Amino acid sequence: MKKVYTRPRLLKRNRFHYCPGCGHSIIHRIITELIDEMNLQDRVIGIPPPGCSVFAYHYFDVDMAESAHGRGAAVATGIKRAFPEAIVFTYQGDGDLAAIGTAETIHAANRGERITAIFINNAVYGMTGGQMAPTTLANQITTTTPYGRDEKIEGYPVKMSEILSLVKGAVYIERVAVNSPANIRKATRAICKAFQAQIDDLRYALVEILSPCPTNWKMSPLESWQWIDKEMTKEFPLGVIKDTTREEDAD
Amino acid sequence: MARVLMTGNGAIGEAAIRAGCQCYFGYPITPQNELTEYMATHLGRKKGCSFVQAESEISAINMVFGASLVGVRAMTSSSSPGISLKQEGISYLAACELPAVIVNMSRGGPGLGSISASQSDYFQATRGGGHGDYRTIVLAPSSVQELADLTHRAFDLADKYHIPVILLGDGMLGQMMEPVEFKHEAPAELPVRSNALRGAKGRPSRIIKTFTSNPAELEEINWSLFRRYGLIKKEETTYETFMLEDAELVVVAFGIAARIAKGAIKTVRTEGLKVGLLRPITLWPFPEEGIQELAMKTKHFIVFEMNMGQMVEDVKLALEGAGETSFYGRPGGVIPTPSEVTRVISRLYYQKGLK
């Protein structure tokens, strides 16, 4: 019988600490599978952030270094500038990339750093217990928006992918979700493309992933998948937001 | 190589390149811009090297963190307010045991302060500076020549002990011009540090991290850091002595203040006052033993700093009551004149009944 599905070789045999229904484990699987398929494990350096995925290095069997909160893009810049042969990816949450690390992110993209950003958008601060994130939806209840996010008081959900699409140094930006087998396949293709942009020595690439957080959303895993479709994608529509990879000359 | 006339900031840049620094990341702030500009001009286009003008001080130190992860020599520089911003990154560098060189051409504070030379960052530099229990090696040059020499030493120490090293100068040292001789030629290629992250090729994958959910594990990490700090204290403490052989009164001063103190000591010596100088070159580790040895010969110490009294605490800690400590300082970026310091020293000398 032909084996069609197996544990990725580069996913360490540690039990995930993530909650049931969390998107991180799916995304970890996609990335490790791709690194193996694209034969990058010898030169990949991953930069996980503080947050639930701070322990990503327990699962990725590649070189990894933890970044300070929000500084992933700056750390990745330093790595890539000092060692251009590396394939560098940051793994960042919405608080990390769209709040405390906004400046690092926009400027790394603007310099056209040859790095790949994996941006996990779950509309809350997960590890700290479900506070409002920059991407929290209007009226969404979190522990710091107990009456729902009032846009007049707490501002609007920040659309980092759209903002970054205006930055010239970014060559590829796509928003995907990991809430159905079909969407997971699309996410895989997007992440593959974002790594390929770096292999081709193009410039900044980012994949935003709408990812379920059933624990902090106080939903079942199934409800959280449905909530992404019904609510999140209204504010954060899926699809390619920018792709100039074909126009780019590798230099 | 023959001596050349350079600004202190430029001399740091040239010495860093000759020490094999491959990456410089910085952000403009006075009075250290000449260093950033020197690196943009002389390092930025060099093969295998990189210069980035970062979007913030925070980014600059994190770029240093990234370059250090992959095992190359990297540095950043700034001045007081900018160094405050870098403290998060310095704490992470210390926790990850990553080498890095951080230059602080300090200026008057607190707050935005002034752009004039000051020594008010002594506490910040010598107590770690950021969060957590850690130390950095702190080198305090007092001439352009020493800026160059200590820049080289800073890179060597950082690599030897896997620790961030702070070069603590000030706006005056950075901007004044003096003859300087560079004693080293740039190395052809430095070996990559053996524990660097370069991709898991032919070896198991590596992790460099600081977070642990187990306090016992973190305690052991702290113990291990402090065992290394103990070794650094033993091996690397350095200081200069000046006219101390027969001194009845010892001036303790560092950096540019020590230059001013030397001028004052020469003057009071012509009047027959037996005064000498101890100048710590490493502020951390502090030359406690040097101070203690002097206390066996005299009980009279005066600490002179361009701040409200910071290093004086280390002198008192070293003396543990074995001597009397006076202090003279000017904060806010005011640079005292040698004649002012001369008056302070001789007044104290007579008050103490030493003559």
Closest Cα in chain B, distance from residue A233 (Å):
32
ipTM above 0.85, yes or no: yes
Mean pLDDT calculated for residue range A96-111: 98
Token duo for residue A22:
């969390």
Instruction: Give contacts of A 80-99 with B, CB under 8 A.
Output: 80-83, 85-87
What is B64-80 written as a DSSP string? HHHHHHTT--EEEEE-H
Model pLDDT, residue B355: 82
Cα A91-A97-A100 angle, rounded to 5 deg: 130
**Prediction pTM value:** 0.97
Say whether B206 and A63 touch across the interface (CB within 8 A). Answer: yes
Nearest by CB to residue A83, choosing from B198, B208, B210, is: B198
User: pLDDT tens-digit profile of B118-175?
Assistant: 999 999 999 999 999 999 999 999 999 999 999 999 999 999 999 999 999 999 999 9
CB within 8 Å of A166: residues ≥ 6 apart:
none
Give the CA distances from residue B220 to residues A231, B215, B216, B217, B223, in Å, rounded to whole numbers and listed in that order.
47, 9, 6, 5, 5
Say whether B200 and A79 touch across the interface (CB within 8 A). Answer: no
Kindly indicate the confidence band of residue A36, based on its pLDDT and cuts at 50, 70 and 90: very high
Mean of per-residue pLDDT scores for chain B? 96
Domain ranges of chain A: 23-243
Kindly indicate the confidence band of residue A5, based on its pLDDT and cuts at 50, 70 and 90: confident
pLDDT over 80 (residue A230) = yes
In whole angstroms, give the CA distance from residue B224 to residue B214: 16
Closest C-alpha among A194, A172, A154, A176 to residue A236: A176
Place of tokens 């590829």: A172
Q: Could you tell me if A26 and A210 are in contact, meaning their C-beta atoms sit under 8 angstroms apart?
A: no
Model pLDDT, residue A249: 57
| Residue B336 φ then ψ, to 5° | -65, 150
Task: Pick A3 or A31 by higher pLDDT.
Answer: A31
Model pLDDT, residue B217: 95
Residue A137: count of CB within 10 angstroms of its CB: 21
Nearest by CB to residue B63, choosing from A57, A77, A86, is: A77
pLDDT over 80 (residue B205) = yes
Token duo for residue A216:
């902090």
User: pLDDT tens-digit profile of A145-163?
Assistant: 999 999 999 999 999 999 9
3-state secondary structure of B190: coil
Does the domain formed by A23-243 have CATH 3.40.50.720? no
In whole angstroms, give the CA distance from residue A64 to residue B198: 10
In whole angstroms, give the CA distance from residue B318 to residue B323: 10
Model pLDDT, residue B190: 78
Mean pLDDT calculated for residue range B208-230: 95
User: pLDDT tens-digit profile of B252-264?
Assistant: 999 999 999 999 9
Mean pLDDT calculated for residue range A221-233: 98
Instruction: Give contacts of B 92-121 with A, CB under 8 A.
Output: 92, 96
Say whether A60 and B208 touch across the interface (CB within 8 A). Answer: no
In whole angstroms, give the CA distance from residue B184 to residue B313: 36
Return the residue of A nearest to B23 by Cα: A82
Q: Could you tell me if A88 and A117 are in contact, meaning their C-beta atoms sit under 8 angstroms apart?
A: no
Domains of chain B: 4-236 (3.40.50.970), 241-351 (3.40.50.920)
Q: Which of A165-169, A247-251, B93-97, B176-180 has the lowest mean pLDDT?
A: A247-251
User: pLDDT tens-digit profile of B283-327?
Assistant: 999 999 999 999 999 999 999 999 999 999 999 999 999 999 999
CB within 8 Å of A223: residues ≥ 6 apart:
A214, A217
Mean of per-residue pLDDT scores for chain A? 96
Model pLDDT, residue B195: 86
User: pLDDT tens-digit profile of B36-77?
Assistant: 999 999 999 999 999 999 999 999 999 999 999 999 999 999
pLDDT above 70 covers what percent of chain B?
100
Size of interface A-B (CB pairs under 8 A): 137
What is B150-213 written as a DSSP string? HHHHHHHHHHHHT-EEEEEEEHHHHH-EEEE----PPPS-PPPPTT--S--SSS---EE----S
Closest Cα in chain A, distance from residue B129 (Å):
16
**Chain A interface, best mutation among B25, B46, B52, by max A CB count within 10 A:** B52
pLDDT over 70 (residue A196) = yes
Model pLDDT, residue B270: 97
Nearest by CB to residue A65, choosing from B69, B72, B88, is: B69
Say whether B67 and A67 touch across the interface (CB within 8 A). Answer: no
Mean pLDDT calculated for residue range A19-47: 97
| Residue A43 φ then ψ, to 5° | -130, 10
